[in-house]
Amino acid sequence: MTEETARGDPAGGSGPDTGVTEEGDQPRGKWANKRESLLAMTGLIIGLGNFWRFPYLCYRNGGVAFFIPYFLCLLFCGIPVLFLEMALGQYTSEGGVTVWKKICPMFQGVGIASQVILAYLNIYYIVILVWALVYLYYSFKSTLPWSTCDNFWNTDVCQSRPSSYANPNLFQPDSNWSFLHNVTSLDYFDEFSPEVDNEQRTSETEFWMYRVLRVSHDMTLGPVNWDLAACLLLAWIVCYLCIFRGIKSAGKVVYVTATVPYLLLFILFIRGVTLPGAGDGMKHFLYPELYRLAGLHAWCDALSEVLSSYSVCLGVVTALGSYNKYNNNCYRDCLVLCCLNTGTSIFAGLAVFSVLGFMAHDMGVSLHDVVNAGPGLVFQAFPKALSMLPGASFWCVLFFLMILFLALDAQFLCVESLVTAIADLFPHHLRNPRGRSILVLVICVVCFLLGLPHITQGGIIVFHLLDHFGASENSMLFIVCFETTVIAWVYGADRFYDNIEDMIGYKPFPVLKYCWLFITPLLCWVNLSYNMTNRFPLIVYGFYPGIGGTIVSALLLVTPLMCIPVFLFITLCKTPENMTTSSKDLRQARPHNPILTLCKRVIFKANVKPNRHVEENDEKMMMGEPSTA
């Protein structure tokens, strides 16, 4: 019997690859092959943040100088947390809630908290798909509607300007085109308040505000925009079709959704770097300004970007990892994915700033006047830049197809992980195909109904409330602290290292252990303290949400975090003697080893008693043929 065969058959009654389940439970599926697993993880971590957040943060925090805090945070926080969640899911073969119930029952509230945040994300993130669908539809028009002021939604203060690159005849020295009422405004991308009627606004801003969002002057919710509701319904139908059969269908969809964006991004990059002014844009993106690293702001931005880009603290990485085979080399996968994510972010930044550099060059303004972040980049700045190119409709179609694939990938994988977490809580009823498909349908319908307020006239405020407070950066930092503390100090870092060695055949780099014990929680607490002392009110297009918005935001922020102490108290009342005892179903290759040592000194001794039944069951499984499930 080879070592790989032995590692492929975990001990315990519910080993991940054995197909052995509790009586009455349906067997849990696995990824069909290694490619599906990697593509699913790629689709999760490569998202809109690589395109609209990283390039802006890099530009704002010193160009190449920002790479210093970014790579340090990646090494000491991003990789340790990503690997922890991947290995935890693969080791236990459980979703985002039951994984913590098996590892340490008193902290199953950590899993509940992550699923509450994930539910917030599933409700509002899909709205980006709705906006992208609207832009994609209008991209097929021969004249892009956001490039002119001749539409029914435009106001008297609308302004636009033809591109000198696409219309060189209008910009000859002897040309006079003063008959055009559209002129350039240096405050091109300044946010505006709908209450102000006499300020000049660009055609892209009016398309975004008055055609897509349909904002009211007082920013009240108002009625639902039913064409947007139809797009929301379409987005949820596509999402349902991607995952209604679980990883069997999701594993096939990611072959397209995880690869096509790279092709489209490469095409846009080639077009961008061939434009006049592209070099200046990329120079501003990369130009080092070391003095920006003197304060904590750049370092906190780097940590926030690392945690956000890897979608940790949501239980998604754990859920996707739980479908890996037991002896999959998740350590190597983690390193490959981190290199891929970082490389994609830098490549996307070059593509973005090459196009923004062209736009600044064509308009004759500073790059600072056209740089934007978040939805403003995707739905205002970039459409404007692409509309200035010859064949603008073609480039806009490619761009918004890329946005659709990036958003769809993250959306259906997040929904899949929520389904996995709930199904693992009730395996008797929800692991069978019929029960699972009904669960997926119920989640899609409920999230669709809860998403309708986001596409009302004041829905952008609801969107920002959920984004700012529901999926809060502070909540993620709290959960990272709890995750690393529970694994390192309660379950035991050395015991977890033994589990990892049992899975992949060797122990990972020892620095990871000390990251889980000290460095990662410390970094998160410092960032959290900085955020709490530098709070800024949420203002959406000149409007403060008011008392009602403050109450809602407080509830959104507190609800997931309250799950941790609440479930700790419940466990204390129900089973005080087993609060920190891990499940006997988990394979322990070295049950007599200390669970935590520091500097060769034993901190916590072994607390797992060898189980005679488990040992006998393990021996029988190792004598059999390895599972190929």
Contacts of 49 (CB under 8 A, 6+ apart): 305, 308, 309
So what's the pLDDT on residue 535?
Answer: 67
Beta bridge partners of 456: 224
DSSP states of 553-588: HHHHHHHHHHHHHHHHHHHHHH-GGGSSPPPTTS--
Q: 246 — alpha (psi -120 to 50), left (phi > 0) or beta?
A: left
CA dist., res. 459 & res. 327, Å (int): 46
Task: Please report, for the chain, the start and end positions of each structural domain, with discontinuous segments joined by +.
Answer: 26-136+224-349+404-578
| Among 80, 82, 499, 84, residue whose Cα is nearest residue 326 | 499
Answer for the pair 411, 239: CB distance below 8 angstroms, yes or no. Answer: yes
- 10-residue mean pLDDT profile of the chain (629 residues): values are 42 43 68 95 94 92 95 97 97 96 94 97 96 96 90 87 62 45 36 48 90 82 91 97 92 95 96 93 92 92 95 96 96 97 96 92 85 82 90 94 95 97 93 92 97 92 90 93 96 96 95 96 94 72 68 90 94 86 90 92 78 44 36
Handedness of CA 328, 331, 335, 337 (dihedral sign): positive
Identify the CATH number of the domain defined by range 26-136+224-349+404-578.
1.20.1740
CA dist., res. 87 & res. 437, Å (int): 27
| Among 16, 44, 28, residue whose Cα is nearest residue 314 | 44
Contacts of 623 (CB under 8 A, 6+ apart): 1
**278-286 vs 330-363: helix crossing angle, rounded to 10:** 130
Provide the 3-class DSSP secondary structure of residue 99. helix
So what's the pLDDT on residue 185?
Answer: 35
Token pair, residue 288, equals 């080092």
Q: 218 — alpha (psi -120 to 50), left (phi > 0) or beta?
A: alpha
Token pair, residue 228, equals 């947007």
pTM score, whole prediction? 0.89
